[in-house]
Structure 1
Amino acid sequence: MKKTLISGAGVLTLVGFLSKILAALYRFPYQNMVGDKGFYAFQQVYPFYSIITTLSLVALPNFLSSLRHTSQEADEMIKKRETQQFFQTSFLFSLASVILLSILCQPLAQLMGQPKLALPLLMAISPIILVPFLSLYRGLAQSKNDMTKSAISQMVEQVVRVVLIILAAFMFTRLTDDVYTISFLAMLGSFIGGLAALIYLIRSTNFKFKGLFTDLTDWQMKKEIIRKFGLASLIFTFFMIYMLIFQMVDVFFVKNALVHSGISSSHAEILKGIYDRGQPFLQLGLVITTAILTDALPKMTQGGHISKQIVDAVTYLSIALTVGLVLVLPEMNDVLFKSHTQALSLQLFIMQIPIISMIQLAHHELFLRGHHKISGAILLVGLLFKLLLVYPLTVTFGLAGASISSLISLLIVLVAYQSYRRRLPKQVLNLRFWLAILVMSAVVLLGKKLFDVSEHRVLQLIELLLLTAAGAATFFSIFRMKNIRELL
């Protein structure tokens, strides 16, 4: 049974890894098709959809699975009753949320500074209605240690939505050049992706919905389900969507701050679209460290402390990867977006990668030790700083200020975690590591001077790949990380 469980978790990890890559990569062709303003119209409503997806992919299925495992020795009727009440509670919350947010779509779009975002936003929040059904099927499968169905449904959802999003972008200028209509169609593709995943789950299991809506007014049992969700699950969910909440703060403040600084509304939307280019870079940068954490932590965590091997791998790799990305980002901007515009702002933006990676390590350790309240409080303080800083810094420094607001807020979170743990990241004091970083940087910068001769995108891509390979080879030839192969 244990071997099957580890194998199933491995499948889920692998699919999650591939999904994250796919979720980052499709943004590049999408932006090339619809432009910066079209990308802005999509990214303004995307955090809403992404938070909803996190609930149906991770938070609620995990809760249902643990709920059924906790009561595994109980009578089968009790387990069915709890499953029924879990579904009804999540369904009522989803129904109330979709009604409330539908009413608030226009006011929220006004707060974003663009009333035309109301319809795309309406479509972005519509997958809430699928959350109870997807969570039920995935949670039931996971409670039986069947991770494969959850993994396949995740991949089905991602592939269908990406294909439909790119198809929506392809329609740009052919059927309409209205970026808000294209954003609406892209979000419709996301809803259809969720529906496709649900259809797969229904067809691949023998679970029936019979009796799920009986005893709908058993409020006492529903209160018990909410109580069992508890603080730990709440903090876990909060952390899962933490960076999405940061994105949502940017949604409401960055464009408005740019307009307040004297930039026209239309140009501010283009600039916000350029700022949003940082998201796929950030996602790609976090893919490796997140994969290491997801896959290795259950096997290598002992007594509430994370092994030195994991800390080394995540810290060293995230810093080295970020330095490399910062060095070649102007060239990546050229190859992927045909523009050097706002390179500094994007370089500052992706400097979040090592900070987020180290925050993940600290949060996980506190979570394992049961220190949920302090972890939640630290995260709330960071979010408060983001709310306080983003508007004035963006007004003063433009997009660079928006990036700085995230960096400062996340640094505060990291320092608070490290102070509470009374532990310094000794890895950053490793002189051999910094020597490897310096030599790698010198090789990349020298290579940029030698290769900076082509204006053709294909040749620029080849040059970029050569620079990346040379930088990575230089780094690892000087700084050889022990046991890194076991983690990668």
Structure 2
Amino acid sequence: MGNRNVNTTLQGALILSIAAFIAKLLSAVYRVPFQNMVGNTGFYVYQQVYPLYGIGMTFALSGLPVFISKLIAEAPDLPSQQLVARQVSRWVWGLAILIFGGLMLGAPAIARGMGDAQLAPLIQMVAWMFLLMPALSVGRGYHQGRFHMLPTARSQVVEQLVRVVVILVAAGWATSHDWSVYRMGTWALSGGTVAAVAALVVLPRWRQPQAPTRWRVPHLGRRLLIEGGTLCLLTAMMVLLQLVDSFTVKNGLVTGGMSDLAAKSLKGVYDRAQPLVQLGLVVAVAFATSLLPALSEAQHQGRPQAFKRLTTTMMRIALMIASAATAGLISLMPWINRLLFGDTQGSGMLAVYMLGIILATLIQTYNSVLQSQDSYRLTVLALTVGLLVKCVANRWAVVHFGAGGASWLTVLSLAVMFIVIWYGSAQELRAGVWSRAFIRKLLGCTILMVAGVRIVATLLTSWWPVLATGRLAAGVGLLLTIPVGVVLFFGLALSWQLLSVREWLAIPHAETMLRLWQKLRQHGGK
């Protein structure tokens, strides 16, 4: 690969990374005002069906476009690329029609499986989005394969913006006009289809081949199923775990003796974990995968030592940021819960769920490393085993331990996935990534940060009891304690040299922090 192509690829990867970050941030943030408007039961209704939309979104947003872009990039000229896009489009249309028909006809059965027959219209509303999936996934993949990343990035951001607007408008309208939560949920989920139309409007269309060409992709259907399906499954990891919850948490709570209405409300409380985990993942993965372009370059240029060094740096940064975010969210969960959702209900099970941030971050980061080597089978095996654990044990855990049991099963499933990936990968790829000294220092930073934050929170509450009540007070408490936690964690990490200077500099904008730390040390030494 020439320098020009490498630079184009790296710039494109950066553009897509920024667009993906914005899209994921929007997808996480809107759930807070949405839950505030529709309440726990309304949030339950939306979240029960959301995983079905989430799977379709991963198909059209990232999973299939990445696979299709590889096929397009392999074609030797423009007519061949156009022909490949046409061939893939036929296969994806077949898949889309199959899923659309399955959801439309199977909606009543799926709703009954979720324990709520009134969800059927919401499932049918989601089905319409799949008819727009072929044009979106092939269009995005075509432009990415030709190294034109801006069209894909623009369509991703527009899609999420429009969807969020439709969802919040539907929630506001439903609240003011006294709609049922199911009618509200149906209109909110229509945002996915409206957003897909908007994304298509801003996505330039690829042209049908004008010149004759004999280029054919061998075994296209099998590759679409294996490679494309693998990418989609890996991207939808957290959504698939949520889908298992949709079929087991509410049903398990009712089996455990809870009333139907109370089970719906508690499932809505349990679903508060989704935006919190997503925010933690967005931040941690964004920091860690900022090195992905350099990693891909090292792989293409055949520099194994540089590849290993970058892998180690990515995994250390991922674990450090994810640990700090997880510990912070757990230690401050009652205030976070009150500020964002109006009460502290379910703070314990939400805190347990936050442990999944560390594991999901490590899985996604390490999976990026494996993907750069075109290695997929191990991650699929890990995902399959982890999902089996969740499917088999989740309802039992909910019946015996309540909704908190589902939180623990999510963490356990992610732990199983990571263990399979980690110990199934090549020894030379994981050797020396985390030394005992690194783990000891990280544990020390995390424990002292949590202790410091809890001490400050206790002192503030004793001096100013109003901080224990009210959303505004919770916000004030967080504003006072979060900076303490950040300074403590990163101050200790710098003092104990948790990362090397080179590893610190791999984090975006870390130079400023290092300069400030150096000045403080020089001032303290005088």
TM-score in terms of structure 1 length: 0.92
How far has the Cα of 1:361 moved from its partner?
3.3
Matches within 5 A, 1:42-191: 42-73=46-77, 76-191=78-193
1:196-275 equivalences in 2 (<5 Å): 196-201=198-203, 205=204, 207-208=206-207, 224-229=219-224, 231-275=226-270
> Post-superposition shift, 1:434?
2.1
**Equivalent residue, structure 2, for 1:325:** 329
- Are the structure 2 counterparts of residues 406 and 284 from structure 1 closer, same or farther at C-alpha, using a change threshold of 3 Å? same
- In the alignment, structure 1 residue 477 sits paired with structure 2 residue 491: yes
Is this contact kept in 2: 1:254–1:394, CA < 8 A? Answer: yes
Q: Which amino acid aligns with 2:277?
A: L
- In structure 2, relative to structure 1, the CA distance for the partners of 1:190 and 1:371 (3 Å cut) is closer
Q: Retained in 2: the 8 A contact 1:89–1:222?
A: no
- Which residue type is aligned with residue 442 of structure 2? F
Unaligned runs of 5+ in 2: 211-215, 299-303, 509-526
Give yes or no for contact 1:326–1:350 (8 Å, CA) kept in 2: yes
Letter in 1 for 2:240: I
Distance 1:323 1:420 in 2: 28
What whole-Å deviation, never above 9, does each CA across 1:380-432 have from its counterpart, x for those lacking one? 11111111110111101001100111111211222222222354762565333
Alignment of 1:457 with 2:465, yes or no, is no
Change (3 A) 1:450 1:386: same
Please report how far the alpha carbon of residue 240 of structure 1 lies from its aligned counterpart in structure 2 after TM superposition. 0.9
Q: 1:428 to 1:32 in 2, by over 3 A?
A: farther
Range moving further from structure 2, 335-344 or 284-293: 284-293
Q: What does residue range 263-302 of structure 1 map to in structure 2 within 5 Å?
A: 263-300=258-295, 302=298
Structure 1: tracts of 5 or more residues without a match? 212-220
Which of 411, 434, 450 matches 1:441?
Answer: 450
Q: State the identity as a percent.
A: 30
Change over 3 Å in CA distance of 1:57–1:299 after alignment to 2: same
| 8 A Cα contact 2:40 2:266, kept in partner | yes
How many residues are paired up?
Answer: 474
Aligned to 1:410: 414
One-letter amino acid of the counterpart of residue 103, structure 1: L
Match of 1:486 among 506, 518, 526: 506
Q: What is the match of residue 315 of structure 1? A: 319
Partners of 2:65 and 2:141 within 8 A in 1: yes
> For each residue in 1:63-117, what CA deviation from the matched residue of structure 2 results, as whole angstroms up to 9, or x when unmatched?
22211211225xx544333221211111121112101210000110011011111
CA–CA distance in structure 1, aligned partners of residues 59 and 416 of structure 2: 27
Match of 2:389 among 375, 385, 397: 385
Change (3 A) 1:365 1:109: same
The residue type equivalent to 1:239 in the other structure is L
Q: What is the CA–CA distance in structure 2 between the aligned matches of 1:208 and 1:416, rounded to whole Å?
A: 43
Any idea what the Cα deviations from partners look like across 1:221-266, whole Å, max 9, x if unmatched? 7983213336343322221112211110000011000000000111
**Residues 292/232 of structure 1: CA separation in 2 closer, same or farther (3 Å cut):** farther
Aligned partners of 2:218 and 2:295: how far apart in 1?
36
1:432 aligns with 2:441: yes
Determine if the alignment matches structure 1 residue 356 to structure 2 residue 368: no
Moved more, 38-47 or 293-302: 293-302
Provide, for residues 157-212 of structure 1, a one-character-per-residue CA deviation record: whole Å limited to 9, x for no partner.
111110111111101332233101111010112210111111111xxx3645699x
The one of 331, 338, 356 aligned to 1:334: 338
Report SS of the residue matched to 1:326.
helix
Distance 2:38 2:379 in 1: 40
